[in-house]
Amino acid sequence: MSDSSAKITLQQPALSELFLGFAQVSVSSFGGALPWARRMIVEQRKWMSAEEFNETFSLSQFLPGPNLINFCVVFGSRFGGALGAVVALAGLLGPPLIIVTMLAVIYAHYGDVAMLSRILGGIASAAAGLLMASVAKMTEPLFRKRWNFAPLVAIAGFICVALVQWPLPWVFVILAPVSIALAWITMRKSQ
Protein backbone atom coordinates (compact mmCIF):
# COMPACT_ATOMS: atom_id res chain seq x y z
CA MET A 1 0.00 0.00 0.00
CA SER A 2 1.07 3.57 -0.62
CA ASP A 3 0.73 4.49 3.07
CA SER A 4 4.27 3.33 3.74
CA SER A 5 5.87 6.03 1.62
CA ALA A 6 7.95 8.25 3.89
CA LYS A 7 6.82 11.55 2.35
CA ILE A 8 3.56 12.22 4.15
CA THR A 9 2.76 15.16 6.37
CA LEU A 10 2.07 13.93 9.88
CA GLN A 11 -0.65 15.46 12.03
CA GLN A 12 -0.60 16.33 15.75
CA PRO A 13 -3.61 14.99 17.63
CA ALA A 14 -5.39 17.20 20.18
CA LEU A 15 -6.57 15.62 23.46
CA SER A 16 -10.16 15.27 22.28
CA GLU A 17 -8.94 13.63 19.06
CA LEU A 18 -6.84 11.18 21.09
CA PHE A 19 -9.93 10.13 23.00
CA LEU A 20 -12.12 9.86 19.91
CA GLY A 21 -9.43 8.07 17.89
CA PHE A 22 -8.90 5.34 20.46
CA ALA A 23 -12.64 5.07 21.14
CA GLN A 24 -13.08 4.50 17.41
CA VAL A 25 -10.43 1.76 17.55
CA SER A 26 -12.00 0.11 20.57
CA VAL A 27 -15.55 -0.15 19.23
CA SER A 28 -14.50 -1.51 15.84
CA SER A 29 -11.80 -3.93 16.98
CA PHE A 30 -13.30 -7.38 16.90
CA GLY A 31 -10.76 -10.17 17.08
CA GLY A 32 -7.71 -8.10 17.99
CA ALA A 33 -7.15 -4.37 18.12
CA LEU A 34 -3.76 -3.99 16.38
CA PRO A 35 -5.04 -3.77 12.77
CA TRP A 36 -7.62 -1.18 13.80
CA ALA A 37 -5.09 0.91 15.71
CA ARG A 38 -2.73 0.90 12.74
CA ARG A 39 -5.54 1.76 10.34
CA MET A 40 -6.64 4.71 12.47
CA ILE A 41 -3.15 6.08 13.27
CA VAL A 42 -1.18 5.44 10.06
CA GLU A 43 -3.77 5.25 7.29
CA GLN A 44 -6.65 7.47 8.35
CA ARG A 45 -5.41 10.20 10.70
CA LYS A 46 -1.71 10.15 9.75
CA TRP A 47 -0.45 10.67 13.29
CA MET A 48 2.57 8.43 12.72
CA SER A 49 4.55 7.09 9.79
CA ALA A 50 4.61 3.34 9.16
CA GLU A 51 8.12 3.16 10.64
CA GLU A 52 7.21 5.11 13.78
CA PHE A 53 4.20 2.91 14.33
CA ASN A 54 6.33 -0.24 14.08
CA GLU A 55 8.91 1.14 16.50
CA THR A 56 6.34 2.26 19.05
CA PHE A 57 4.37 -0.95 18.81
CA SER A 58 7.45 -3.15 19.19
CA LEU A 59 8.41 -1.21 22.33
CA SER A 60 4.91 -1.76 23.71
CA GLN A 61 5.12 -5.44 22.93
CA PHE A 62 8.41 -5.71 24.75
CA LEU A 63 6.93 -4.24 27.95
CA PRO A 64 4.92 -6.56 30.19
CA GLY A 65 1.13 -6.30 30.06
CA PRO A 66 -1.45 -6.11 27.30
CA ASN A 67 0.29 -4.82 24.12
CA LEU A 68 -2.33 -2.46 22.85
CA ILE A 69 -2.91 -0.92 26.27
CA ASN A 70 0.82 -0.29 26.59
CA PHE A 71 0.83 1.14 23.08
CA CYS A 72 -2.04 3.44 23.96
CA VAL A 73 -0.16 4.77 27.02
CA VAL A 74 3.11 5.27 25.10
CA PHE A 75 1.28 6.94 22.22
CA GLY A 76 -0.90 9.15 24.43
CA SER A 77 2.02 10.30 26.57
CA ARG A 78 4.11 11.16 23.54
CA PHE A 79 1.47 13.54 22.19
CA GLY A 80 -0.14 14.79 25.40
CA GLY A 81 1.95 13.84 28.45
CA ALA A 82 0.30 12.09 31.40
CA LEU A 83 -3.07 13.58 30.54
CA GLY A 84 -2.73 12.34 26.97
CA ALA A 85 -2.06 8.81 28.23
CA VAL A 86 -5.12 8.90 30.50
CA VAL A 87 -7.36 10.31 27.77
CA ALA A 88 -6.22 7.76 25.17
CA LEU A 89 -6.68 4.94 27.69
CA ALA A 90 -10.16 6.16 28.58
CA GLY A 91 -11.04 6.09 24.89
CA LEU A 92 -9.67 2.59 24.44
CA LEU A 93 -11.18 1.02 27.56
CA GLY A 94 -14.36 3.03 28.23
CA PRO A 95 -16.67 1.84 25.43
CA PRO A 96 -15.66 -1.86 25.63
CA LEU A 97 -16.14 -1.87 29.41
CA ILE A 98 -19.72 -0.67 28.95
CA ILE A 99 -20.42 -3.14 26.15
CA VAL A 100 -18.86 -6.11 27.93
CA THR A 101 -20.80 -5.33 31.12
CA MET A 102 -24.06 -5.30 29.16
CA LEU A 103 -23.14 -8.61 27.55
CA ALA A 104 -22.33 -10.05 30.98
CA VAL A 105 -25.77 -9.06 32.24
CA ILE A 106 -27.44 -10.62 29.18
CA TYR A 107 -25.36 -13.75 29.69
CA ALA A 108 -26.40 -13.93 33.36
CA HIS A 109 -30.07 -13.84 32.28
CA TYR A 110 -30.00 -16.13 29.26
CA GLY A 111 -26.71 -18.00 29.55
CA ASP A 112 -26.78 -19.01 25.90
CA VAL A 113 -23.83 -17.82 23.89
CA ALA A 114 -24.15 -20.51 21.19
CA MET A 115 -25.60 -18.18 18.54
CA LEU A 116 -23.12 -15.44 19.36
CA SER A 117 -20.22 -17.84 19.19
CA ARG A 118 -21.31 -19.03 15.71
CA ILE A 119 -21.17 -15.40 14.55
CA LEU A 120 -17.86 -15.04 16.35
CA GLY A 121 -16.55 -18.12 14.55
CA GLY A 122 -17.01 -16.39 11.20
CA ILE A 123 -15.51 -13.15 12.45
CA ALA A 124 -12.50 -15.01 13.87
CA SER A 125 -11.66 -16.30 10.37
CA ALA A 126 -11.89 -12.79 8.95
CA ALA A 127 -9.91 -11.31 11.87
CA ALA A 128 -7.01 -13.68 11.16
CA GLY A 129 -6.99 -12.49 7.55
CA LEU A 130 -7.11 -8.84 8.62
CA LEU A 131 -4.12 -9.38 10.90
CA MET A 132 -2.22 -11.01 8.01
CA ALA A 133 -2.83 -7.96 5.83
CA SER A 134 -1.65 -5.67 8.66
CA VAL A 135 1.56 -7.64 9.13
CA ALA A 136 2.21 -7.51 5.40
CA LYS A 137 1.82 -3.72 5.45
CA MET A 138 3.97 -3.41 8.58
CA THR A 139 6.75 -5.47 7.00
CA GLU A 140 7.20 -3.12 4.05
CA PRO A 141 9.46 -0.55 5.81
CA LEU A 142 11.72 -3.43 6.86
CA PHE A 143 12.89 -3.96 3.31
CA ARG A 144 13.83 -0.31 2.87
CA LYS A 145 16.20 -0.38 5.86
CA ARG A 146 19.87 -1.22 5.77
CA TRP A 147 19.45 -3.64 8.70
CA ASN A 148 19.91 -6.71 6.57
CA PHE A 149 19.42 -9.14 9.48
CA ALA A 150 15.84 -8.00 10.08
CA PRO A 151 13.90 -10.28 7.68
CA LEU A 152 15.84 -13.29 9.00
CA VAL A 153 14.94 -12.46 12.61
CA ALA A 154 11.29 -11.99 11.69
CA ILE A 155 11.21 -15.33 9.88
CA ALA A 156 12.95 -17.08 12.83
CA GLY A 157 10.36 -15.67 15.24
CA PHE A 158 7.54 -16.79 12.99
CA ILE A 159 8.91 -20.33 12.68
CA CYS A 160 9.53 -20.75 16.44
CA VAL A 161 6.03 -19.67 17.46
CA ALA A 162 3.82 -20.68 14.52
CA LEU A 163 5.44 -23.91 13.35
CA VAL A 164 7.56 -25.27 16.25
CA GLN A 165 4.93 -23.91 18.68
CA TRP A 166 7.23 -22.70 21.44
CA PRO A 167 5.55 -20.36 23.98
CA LEU A 168 5.53 -16.81 22.67
CA PRO A 169 7.00 -15.12 25.79
CA TRP A 170 10.04 -17.42 25.70
CA VAL A 171 10.70 -16.83 22.03
CA PHE A 172 10.45 -13.12 22.66
CA VAL A 173 12.81 -13.12 25.63
CA ILE A 174 15.43 -15.16 23.74
CA LEU A 175 15.15 -13.65 20.28
CA ALA A 176 15.01 -9.97 21.33
CA PRO A 177 18.57 -9.76 22.79
CA VAL A 178 19.96 -11.65 19.78
CA SER A 179 18.24 -9.27 17.40
CA ILE A 180 19.36 -6.19 19.34
CA ALA A 181 22.95 -7.46 19.31
CA LEU A 182 22.73 -7.97 15.54
CA ALA A 183 21.36 -4.45 15.13
CA TRP A 184 24.23 -3.07 17.23
CA ILE A 185 26.87 -4.91 15.20
CA THR A 186 25.29 -3.79 11.93
CA MET A 187 25.27 -0.19 13.15
CA ARG A 188 28.95 -0.31 14.20
CA LYS A 189 29.99 -1.80 10.88
CA SER A 190 28.15 0.78 8.84
CA GLN A 191 29.78 3.71 10.65
Partner 1 sequence: MNSNPLYALFGYFALLSLFAVGGANAAIPEMHRVAVDVMHWMTDRQFADMFAIAQISPGPNVIVVTLIGYHVAGLAGAAVATVGMCGPTCCMAFFVARVWDRFKDAPWRTAIQAGLVPVSLGLIAASAFVLARAADHTILAGLITAGTAIVTYFTRVNPLWVFLVAGLAGLSGML
Residues 125, 143, 189, 190: which binds partner 1 (CB under 8 A)?
A: 125
On whether the CB atoms of residues 139 and 150 are closer than 8 A, the answer is: no
User: Which letter, b or e, does each residue of 7-40 get, where b requires 16 or more Cβ atoms within 10 Å of its Cβ?
Assistant: eeeeeebebebbbbbbbbbbeebebbbbbbbbbb
Closer to partner 1 by Cβ: residue 45 or 172: 172
Q: How far apart are CA 142 and CA 56, in angstroms?
A: 14
Instruction: Tell me: does residue 189 bind partner 1 (CB under 8 A).
Output: no
Instruction: Tell me: does residue 20 bind partner 1 (CB under 8 A).
Output: no
Closer to partner 1 by Cβ: residue 14 or 174: 174
Instruction: Tell me: does residue 162 bind partner 1 (CB under 8 A).
Output: yes
Interface of this chain with partner 1, residues 35 to 94, rule: CB under 8 A: 35-36, 39, 43, 54-55, 57-70, 73-74, 77-78, 82, 85, 89, 92-93
On whether the CB atoms of residues 168 and 161 are closer than 8 A, the answer is: yes
The closest of 15, 60, 63, 11 to 40, measured between CA atoms, is: 11
- Taking the complex as a whole, the smallest distance from the CB of residue 112 to partner 1 amounts, in Å, to 10
Closer to partner 1 by Cβ: residue 10 or 162: 162
